Amino acid sequence: MEALTPKALPKKDKIISLDPNDTIPTVLQKLFSSHITSAPVIDKNNHILGSISIIDIINFSLNICQSSQDLVKLFGLSTSSEDSFKFVDFQSLKNFLITENNFPYSSVGDSADFLTNYSHQNKLVVLQNNATFKDLLIALSTAYRVAIADEHNNIVDYVSQSEVVKFLTERGLFSSIGSKTIEELHLVSKDVISINDHQRVVEAFKLMVIKKVSGVAVTDEYGRLIGQISSSDIKNITPTIEMVYSLYDLYHPYRKNLIEKFKVPEKTIIIGSGSTLNQVLETIVLYKLHRIFVIGMYNQAVGVITLTDIIKLLVANNYC
């Protein structure tokens, strides 16, 4: 791995980016039409200002919307949509919010420039074009995506954790530790963040902001794992109005709508604690996962392995 550089990664045909002056509906349209959860914000000189993710937008909308009228205005919806949100108790939804971001709507902008890095969840890291692969892994151990820039701060690549893990797996670069179990490698995080299936989807996204994760488990009344909610789900919903409706659904109608209307399959994959790293990697790459759950005796999630955990393993043990 020492001989690798970020330049070895497969080249993208095009880097989807956002303009600082894009409105929220425009940002959403760009993300959804490309089926991505995040994009860099680039100014007219092609300089990198930061990034915006779907979670940034959701967190912003929760912080500033006090009524259905605010929600309709923010997302550029027709006023006939207001009645659809009469059931939403906006005040109770604010219990989970980060108070320093809680601004009245009239005092903030609604452009991409204002939204850049809004949630403070995953601030964009920028590496220079001559960075080593180890530099890239260290950066990705704390960020979902990393921008690569040239000497003039112009973006030349936008690299995700999933791209890098797939790249390393397909080239057999985990071979020295691949046969070890996830327990031997101390790879399993015991902190499984979850909501129950009687909570609204928006509460899962609030937890993602607070806990700085990109997905949470969903459990039934007995604590058994029945699914998950992640920012990757939302990117498959193209009409903006549908995304807003989905946020205020309960889990089961939300998942049913994703499967039946938007053809988004359920990808909650489970493994046992005796699984090897190779088995985990093969499953993650095959199903394009960002996390995989470790299940105990009664189908309860006793742990979770994320792409961040895998990259941190490489960095901590100097495998890179």
Structural domain boundaries of the chain?
6-170, 194-316
Is residue 128 scored above 70 in pLDDT? Answer: yes
Q: Enter the DSSP assignment of 49.
A: E
Separation CA 185–CA 189 (nearest Å):
11
Is residue 135 scored above 50 in pLDDT? Answer: yes
Burial of 277 (C-beta count, 10 Å sphere; 0-12/13-18/19+): buried
pLDDT at 105: 43
Contact 111, 20 (CB under 8 A): yes
Separation CA 214–CA 306 (nearest Å):
10
**Residue 145: enclosing H or E segment and its boundaries?**
strand 145-149
Average of per-residue pLDDT across 103-124: 66
From the centroid of its chain, how far is CA 119? 12
Q: For the segment 33-77, what is each residue's pLDDT rounded down to a tens digit?
A: 888 999 999 999 888 899 999 888 887 777 777 666 777 777 777
pLDDT at 75: 73
Q: For the segment 228-283, what is each residue's pLDDT rounded down to a tens digit?
A: 999 888 887 765 677 777 888 899 999 999 999 888 888 899 999 899 999 999 99
Domains 6-170 and 194-316 share a fold: yes
Q: What are phi and psi of 225, to 5 degrees?
A: -70, 125
Q: Which of 283, 269, 116, 121 is nearest to 208 (CA)?
A: 121
**Residue 295: enclosing H or E segment and its boundaries?**
strand 291-295
List all residues 6 or more positions away from 62 whose beta carbon is below 8 Å from its beta carbon. 93, 94, 97, 202, 205, 206
CATH-assigned architecture of domain 194-316: Roll (3.10)
Provide the token pair at 237: 């919903």
The topology (CATH level 3) of 6-170 is CBS-domain (3.10.580)
pLDDT at 319: 67
Is residue 193 scored above 60 in pLDDT? Answer: yes
Provide the token pair at 47: 């300089």
Is residue 137 scored above 60 in pLDDT? Answer: yes
Q: Which of 26, 52, 53 is nearest to 113 (CA)?
A: 52
